[in-house]
Amino acid sequence: MSKLKEIDRKAEEKGSALVTLWQFVKFIVVSLLAMIVQFVLLNTLQLIPAIKELYTQEFNWLFFAYPVAVGGLGYFIVSNTANIIAQIVAFFVNKEKTFNSDANVAVTLPIYIVFTIGLIIFSAWLNPTLKDVFVGMNLNEALAKNIATMICSALQFFLYFPVDKLLMHSKKKD
């Protein structure tokens, strides 16, 4: 039996509060993995020439305002693509490792996607708003972009744990 499964089993023997605490610890590790994926993509996708050109095109749609000063359409595409891919990675790792869930992916994934879209829409509004504030405080643009992404990631982290725990409640049978 793997070390992780052994710790899972010992936590179960101690009760549901310890199981939840252990799941939260694993969730933190998975979230850090997702954040690394997001930051790598955030800082590398912008190097693609076709996307780099989009940083000079303003993007305004509904409540999204991405002027050229915050990166325009290129930043909208890069930040949201990085976020979506990071959340997909987090879903599958959390399902398998954090919650040891056998929940039906055909049911849980669509619910997760709807929740994720809502959070991404919120982050797509908040991220450039924060980035603009930080640039206005004379921070380097790259630093401002990364701080804004960290704040949005932290908000998502605290919202995802209870949702994931509800969605992925079924236990796998060994």
Helix (H) or strand (E) holding 111: helix 105-136
Closest of 39, 124, 38, 117 to residue 73, by C-alpha: 124
Sign of CA dihedral 112, 114, 115, 116: positive
Q: What is the pLDDT of residues 107-119, one digit of tens each?
A: 998 999 899 889 9
Asked whether the whole model's pTM tops 0.75, one would answer yes
Q: What is the mean pLDDT of residues 48-69?
A: 92
Q: Structure tokens of 116?
A: 């994720």
136: pLDDT strictly greater than 60: yes
Q: What is the pLDDT of residues 66-94, one digit of tens each?
A: 889 878 999 999 989 998 899 899 999 99
- 26-30, 54-58, 150-154: least confident range: 150-154
Using CA atoms, how far residue 29 sits from 47, 85, 97, 110, 164, in Å, is 28, 17, 11, 24, 15
pLDDT for residue 173 = 56
Cα–Cα distance for residue pair 20/165, rounded to 1 Å? 9
Cα–Cα distance for residue pair 16/72, rounded to 1 Å? 47
- Of all residues in the chain, the percent with pLDDT exceeding 70 is 97
130, with CB counted inside 10 A (0-12, 13-18, 19+), is buried
Close Cβ partners of 85 (under 8 Å, ≥ 6 residues apart): 37, 38, 41
**pLDDT tier for residue 171 given thresholds of 50, 70 and 90:** low
Helix (H) or strand (E) holding 133: helix 105-136
